[in-house]
Amino acid sequence: MLILTKTSSSGIIQATEKIRKKIDEHKFDLCAGHENQHVTISMGLVNFNEVLHRKGEEILKLADDRLRCAKEYGRNRVIYNDKH
């Protein structure tokens, strides 16, 4: 979970895309003596304004649903709304 405060919607998208790209470009040395590994991440974003009147469980479910969608659409992506 990543919480960004005092950040606009476009700022959040820019920040998460930057994180995603940096991880995608980095070669991770996960095991000594083994070839570096390519690692990617997928993210499901929820904007505070979308969930003002929702309970915590509902917010987490929305983020998780978007994460699952990002994985279904090919992984290594950020999903920030239900329109994809």
Give pLDDT tens digits for 32-53: 777 888 999 999 999 888 888 9
Q: Is residue 26 part of a domain?
A: yes
Q: Is residue 1 part of a domain?
A: no
- The pTM (predicted TM-score) of the whole model is 0.82
Q: Is residue 84 part of a domain?
A: no
Residue 30's domain comprises: 9-79
**Nearest Cα to Cα of residue 13 among 74, 78, 65:** 78
Q: How many domains does the chain have?
A: 1
| Residue-level pLDDT at 11 | 92
The ranges of the chain with pLDDT < 70 are 83-84
Own/partner long-range contacts of 5-12 (Cβ < 8 Å, ≥24 apart): 9/47, 9/49, 9/80, 12/45, 12/47, 12/80
